[in-house]
Structure 1
Amino acid sequence: MALIGNLSSELTNKKFDWSRPIRDHVTEMANLVAKLNSMGMQMSESFLVQFILNSLPTEFGQFQVNYNALKEKWNFQEIKAMLNQEKWRLKKMKENSIHLMTHDGASTSKSKSGKKDKEIKVKEGGVHKEKKCYF
Structure 2
Amino acid sequence: MSHIASNLKAHKLEVPEDLLVHLVLLSLPTQFSQFKVSYNCQKEKWSLNELISYCVQEEERLKQDRVEVAQLATSSSNKGKGLKRKPIENAAVDKGPSQKKQHKESGCYFCGKSDHMKKNCAKYTAWRAKKGLSELPKAN
TM-score (norm 1): 0.50
The one-letter code sitting in structure 2 at the alignment partner of 1:105 is R
Could you report, residue by residue, the CA deviation over 1:63-90 in whole angstroms, capped at 9, with x for unpaired residues? 1111111110111111011000111111
Q: Which runs of 5+ in 1 are unaligned?
A: 1-28, 113-135
Matched ranges for 1:1-135 at <5 A: 29-94=1-66, 96-98=67-69, 105-107=85-87, 111-112=92-93
* Equivalent position SS for 1:64: helix
Taking a change above 3 Å as real, the CA distance of residues 74 and 102 of structure 1, as seen in their structure-2 partners, is: same
Taking a change above 3 Å as real, the CA distance of residues 109 and 54 of structure 1, as seen in their structure-2 partners, is: closer
Q: Which residue in 2 is equivalent to 1:6? A: none
* Equivalent position SS for 1:72: coil
In the alignment, the residues of structure 1 paired with residue 34 and residue 9 of structure 2 have an alpha-carbon distance, to the nearest angstrom, of 31
- Root-mean-square deviation over aligned CA pairs: 2.6
Runs of 4+ aligned structure 1 residues displaced above 6 Å come to 100-104
Q: Give, in angstroms, the shift of residue 35 of structure 1.
A: 1.9
Q: Give, in angstroms, the shift of residue 97 of structure 1.
A: 4.8
* Equivalent position SS for 2:85: coil
Q: Which has the higher contact order (CA 8 A, sep 6+)?
A: 1
Q: Give, in angstroms, the shift of residue 32 of structure 1.
A: 1.2
Q: Give, in angstroms, the shift of residue 102 of structure 1.
A: 8.6
In the alignment, the residues of structure 1 paired with residue 91 and residue 26 of structure 2 have an alpha-carbon distance, to the nearest angstrom, of 49
Larger Rg: 2
* Equivalent position SS for 1:65: helix
In the alignment, the residues of structure 2 paired with residue 100 and residue 110 of structure 1 have an alpha-carbon distance, to the nearest angstrom, of 13
Q: Which runs of 5+ in 2 are unaligned?
A: 75-83, 94-140
TM-score (norm 2): 0.49
In the alignment, the residues of structure 2 paired with residue 106 and residue 33 of structure 1 have an alpha-carbon distance, to the nearest angstrom, of 57
* Equivalent position SS for 2:43: coil
Between the two proteins, the alignment pairs up a number of residues equal to 83
Could you report, residue by residue, the CA deviation over 1:2-31 in whole angstroms, capped at 9, with x for unpaired residues? xxxxxxxxxxxxxxxxxxxxxxxxxxx112
